[in-house]
Amino acid sequence: MERICLFPGTFDPITLGHTDVIRRAAGLFDKLVIGIGVNASKEPMFSLEQRVYWMQEIFEDDPRIVAASYHGLTIDFCKELGANYILRGIRYVSDFEYEKAIADMNRMLAPGIETVFLTCSPLYSTISSTLVRDVIRNKKEEAYQFLPKEVRW
């Protein structure tokens, strides 16, 4: 059985913390799908197309890693992909509490899909897309230190 994993998020924008988790997780699975979810309650800074493009550029040299967008429940997208794992990155203990609640709900909806938690490297633990968006709004070029080189505007 192929080990397919979905790493869901909005990735608005993708940060070095995200890429760290993705690169380390890629070796654990046969295929890692970066699922860029559309959240109706959030107004993204960057278009869905732009975020997918950045993912494709960043991971173009690794055929195990692909990017796709989706609407609706993450668990439904897992089923559509045939994914049997969901990857979630954890920076702090508070992240775990929130993510565990989601993982428990997903397990009740689809018992055969496991959630895997991977902690962020300490170097990137303070980086979040929310904080990076704040820096972008005020000091655009200074945000580049938190982003992969492919993420430029």
- pLDDT by residue for the chain (153 residues), tens only, comes to 899 999 999 999 999 999 999 999 999 999 999 999 998 788 999 999 999 999 999 999 999 999 999 999 999 999 999 999 999 999 988 889 999 999 999 999 999 999 999 999 999 999 999 999 999 999 888 999 999 999 987
Tell me which of 42, 137, 140, 152 is the catalytic residue.
Answer: 42
Tell me which of 3, 88, 91, 149 is the catalytic residue.
Answer: 91
CB atoms within 10 A of CB 59: 22
Task: Report how far residue 82's alpha carbon sits from residue 11's, in angstroms, rounded to the nearest whole number.
Answer: 22
Task: Report how far residue 37's alpha carbon sits from residue 46's, in angstroms, rounded to the nearest whole number.
Answer: 13
**Is 121 among the residues known to form the active site?**
no
**Is 42 among the residues known to form the active site?**
yes
Tell me which of 31, 79, 125, 129 is the catalytic residue.
Answer: 129
Coil, strand or helix at 23: helix
Q: Where are the domains of the chain?
A: 4-146
Coil, strand or helix at 72: coil
- CA 44 and chain centroid, separation: 15
Give residue-wise pLDDT tens across range 48-67: 999 999 999 999 999 999 99
pLDDT of residue 47: 95
Topology given in CATH for the domain delimited by 4-146: Rossmann fold (3.40.50)
Nearest to 34 by CA among 1, 69, 58: 69
Report pTM: 0.95
Task: Report how far residue 143's alpha carbon sits from residue 13's, in angstroms, rounded to the nearest whole number.
Answer: 11
